[in-house]
Structure 1
Amino acid sequence: MYKNDIKEYLENEINTLKKLDITKINQAMKLIYETYENQGNIYIFGNGGSSATASHFQNDFNKGISEYVEKKFKFICLNDNIPTIMAIANDIGFGEVFRFQLKGKLEKNDIVIGISGSGNSENVINAVKYAKTCNSKVIGMTGFDGGKLAKLSDISLNVPMNSMQITEDIHMIFDHLIMAIFYKTICGKNHIIG
């Protein structure tokens, strides 16, 4: 009953994957690795499904890779502390939930990764603009036409597809792709077993 729809979705995903800019993924990986080497913090954040992706990144690097290395990754997911998010949203405004957490904390070697499918989430844009005033490098993960976030980012990882679902799928692929390669190059382990 659903076979044609399944096939169409998978074909759209495959075709979109083929359009990804490998050079930009490589640049993002180099920046993340340099930040790791310099023991900088990597602040990551997003809304909705993107918040789940941000949490997943933190888990995969702070536990997944860091389990096997002496020097640890320092990912900080700004959407994981619900009481902090709710207090900022209630007392100041939802548009400030990420920027407020960055204020006075960004240091020389820190970077930020903002995730927004549309590229136009106000709270993500506010945080990225603040990061730019602190001279922190920004990796933006977007879909559709990239929106404001793509333009503000030092490195834009755009999924060129007008589908939030495929955009979010591929944002998770960015996480697992980068993790798997670092798992091999930093930890000396193969992510494929068997």
Structure 2
Amino acid sequence: MSDSDFIHATLTAHLAVIRDLATLTPQIAQIADQMWAGLTSGGRIFWLGNGGSAADCQHLAAELVGRFARERPGLASIALTTDTSILTSVANDYGFNQIFARQVAALCRAGDVVMALSTSGNSPNVLRALETAAQLGVTRIGLSGGDGGQMRQLCDHCLCVPATNTARIQEAHIVIGHLWCDLLEQRAVTVASEFPQLDR
């Protein structure tokens, strides 16, 4: 296959997956509702994932704390993937599978929302974090691909991109994440004065 053919095939596959996201419209909107409910009740949104998903977590948390496209109050959103001292100390003392669960146990409370990203849905450290979040009464949202793996059973709602290729799933995840940022921002612009807890 020539480089040109490869590029064309890859872009075609990407567009097919993005087009299929339209079938998930009700679920995407429902999750935005759950995120908004957490924020307006004084909760925070915590993001966790590995590798490319960790980068997505940081990206999306930053969009909410800063801004996506409009001026509005900052939204309480924290990526649990950024503090290298915490990540390495917990991994060293308790094992890599506990790097997110330990943070969830220390930082989360009922009313918060945990956003767990895993293309396979089977990352052990993500699963342990979801189990811990469940014990705390925290809302658990999963963003995965295929059938959602084991994560699907541990989430209040698990959104599964209809694809099996990891790169295509990751590309879809950032599109979905941007939709959530945009939806939350639209609400924050409209009703921020009614919810002073949004501007911390």
Q: 68, 82, 89: which is aligned to 2:84?
A: 82
Amino acid corresponding to residue 11 of structure 1 in structure 2: T
Q: 99, 122, 125: which is aligned to 1:123?
A: 125
TM (norm. structure 2) is: 0.87
Q: Percent of counterpart pairs with the same letter? A: 26
How many angstroms does 1:69 deviate by?
2.5
Structure 2 partner of 1:192: none
Contact 1:141 1:150 in 2 (8 A): no
The answer to whether the aligner puts 1:63 opposite 2:58 as a matched pair is no
Which segments of 5 or more consecutive residues in structure 1 lack a partner in the other structure? 189-194
Larger relative contact order, structure 1 or 2 (CA cutoff 8 Å, min sep 6): 2
User: For each residue in 1:78-117, what CA deviation from the matched residue of structure 2 results, as whole angstroms up to 9, or x when unmatched?
Assistant: 1100111000001110000000111143222111001111
User: For each residue in 1:127-163, what CA deviation from the matched residue of structure 2 results, as whole angstroms up to 9, or x when unmatched?
Assistant: 0011111121111011132111122211111112111
Instruction: Give the SS at the match of 2:81.
Output: coil
Structure 2 partner of 1:138: 140
Structure 2 partner of 1:165: 167
Contact 1:116 1:141 in 2 (8 A): yes
Taking only aligned residues, the RMSD between alpha carbons, in angstroms, comes to 1.8
How far apart in 1 are the matches of 2:35 and 2:145? 21
The structure with more helix, counted as a fraction of residues: 2
How many angstroms does 1:65 deviate by?
4.9
Instruction: Give the SS at the match of 1:35.
Output: helix
Structure 1 partner of 2:198: none
Runs of 4+ in 1 over 4 A off after TM superposition: none
How far apart in 1 are the matches of 2:158 and 2:19? 17
| Worse-matched range after superposition: 19-28 or 85-94 | 19-28
Amino acid corresponding to residue 94 of structure 1 in structure 2: F
How far apart in 1 are the matches of 2:183 and 2:26? 15
Q: 89, 93, 96: which is aligned to 1:94?
A: 96
Structure 2 partner of 1:109: 111
Which segments of 5 or more consecutive residues in structure 2 lack a partner in the other structure? 191-200
How many angstroms does 1:3 deviate by?
2.2
* Total equivalences in the alignment: 187
| Worse-matched range after superposition: 130-139 or 175-184 | 175-184
How many angstroms does 1:67 deviate by?
7.8
Contact 1:118 1:147 in 2 (8 A): yes
Contact 1:99 1:126 in 2 (8 A): yes
Structure 2 partner of 1:191: none
Contact 1:62 1:74 in 2 (8 A): yes
How far apart in 2 are the matches of 1:126 and 1:92? 12
Q: 27, 32, 36: which is aligned to 1:29?
A: 32
Contact 2:72 2:185 in 1 (8 A): no
How far apart in 2 are the matches of 1:73 and 1:64? 9
